[in-house]
Amino acid sequence: MNVFSHPEFDNHEHLSFFCDPETGLKAIVAIHNTSRGPALGGCRMFAYVNDEEAVRDVLRLSRGMTYKSALANLDLGGGKSVIIGDPRTQKSEALLEAMGKHLESLGGQYIAAEDSGTSVPDLKVMGRHTKYVAGIIERTGFDGRLSNGDPSPTTAYGTFIGLKAAVQHKLGREDLTGLKVAIQGVGNVGYRLAHYLKQAGAELWVYDIHHENMQRAVAELGAHAASAEDILFLPVDVIAPCAMGAVINDDTIPHLNATVIAGAANNLLQRPDHDQALKDRGILYAPDFAINAGGIIDVFYEGSNASPDDVRAHVENIGQTLAEIFTRSDSSGIPTGAIANALAEERFRSFNQNRYLAGENHV
């Protein structure tokens, strides 16, 4: 495997592999860019089929964090880490402590937060050996409830705001009563998104690889259970993928029946050209790194003097950002994902230019 010629490498600043035979830890840390600030991104634990799949995932996720932070106007770079293994059967305190030691060895270039397969308690275990973890401080959330640092509620709220913006743009409606939404993945984020949608009057279909998650949504939210084979292809208004990425691909696009794609999963498109394929089919795609930025916004404010209302206001800007992306796409004919990339790069270049003019980059 040649890393530098890997199709997802994209000039990453750093890629490290860590193995601890005693605990079974096999981990990869990718740092895409630190021009705006330290690389902040989740630590994912997943039972990848092979090492190549793990490398591809961490590179794509890391780059996405660079663009996500820039698009959300945060002074952060982009990074991500993955632990190869089943979080339900292979996770241990010793393994997490070993991960913390590896994070500490990177000297603050990368700061880890919660992601799929990890939790706030897991990050606290890592924190026994490193100060470079985030999303672990208890504080009052924007909903007035005590938060343990878990960014999932804010990610879900931001996704809900973005979904509403997409529905308003594509379907011309602000009222979600009767809106049909299929949610793929009802874990920490997907279930909370489903709750917001239920409160707004939407009708829900759900699927999750973990049967108990799906049953909870059925029992508590009145959702309809769907199969893994059907969830993306139901005749609904919106599909909201909230699990793993790359589900929008050559195999799925021809069979989609929804007119809006707006979900919290990272890297929904298997390839960049699928952006155009969706536009050709008349499907509005809310770029994932724009719509799911609520979590990184929440973590960014950790330890600051910002009020819960400040955090809420910043998260609600996701709707305005998406509205700008949709409008630019309509006027230019360029698909929304490409527009989002360009907008993030505009903000990235502007940030660096301002730093240069202020003398921060002068030798």
| DSSP codes of every residue in 125-176 | HHTTS-S-B-S---EE-TTSSEE-S--HHHHHHHHHHHHHHHHHHHH--S--
Burial annotation 209-244 (CB, 10 A radius, 16+ → b, else e): eeeebbebbbeebebeebeeeebbbbebbbbbbbbb
Give φ, ψ of 139 to 5 degrees.
Answer: -165, 170
Residue 363: the pLDDT is 29
Active-site residue numbers? 80
Which class is domain 14-65+78-136? alpha beta
List every span in the chain annotated with CATH 3.40.50.720.
152-347
187 is in an annotated binding site: yes
Q: Are 271 and 253 in contact (CB under 8 A)?
A: no
Find out if CATH 2.60.120.380 is the number for domain 152-347.
Answer: no
319 is in an annotated binding site: no
- pLDDT beneath 70, residues of the chain: 1, 350-363
55 is in an annotated binding site: no
CA distance 53 to 99: 20
User: Residues 107-164: pLDDT tens digits?
Assistant: 999 999 999 899 999 999 999 999 999 999 888 887 778 888 888 999 999 999 999 9
Residue 361: the pLDDT is 44
CA distance 214 to 292: 21
Residue 311: the pLDDT is 93
List every span in the chain annotated with CATH 3.40.50.10860.
14-65+78-136
Residue 214: the pLDDT is 97
Model's pTM, two decimal places? 0.88
Q: Are 27 and 57 in contact (CB under 8 A)?
A: no
CA distance 69 to 146: 25
Concatenated DSSP letters of 310-352: HHHHHHHHHHHHHHHHHHHHHHH---HHHHHHHHHHHHHHHHH
263 is in an annotated binding site: no
Length of the chain: 363
Dihedral of the alpha carbons of 57, 231, 200, 156, in degrees to the nearest 10: -10
User: Encoding tokens for residue 313?
Assistant: 């206001």
Residue 79: the pLDDT is 97
For residue 73, give the amino acid letter: N
Residue 357: the pLDDT is 40
185 is in an annotated binding site: yes
Strand partners, 84: 46
Instruction: Tell me how far the alpha carbon of residue 1 is from its chain's centroid.
Output: 27
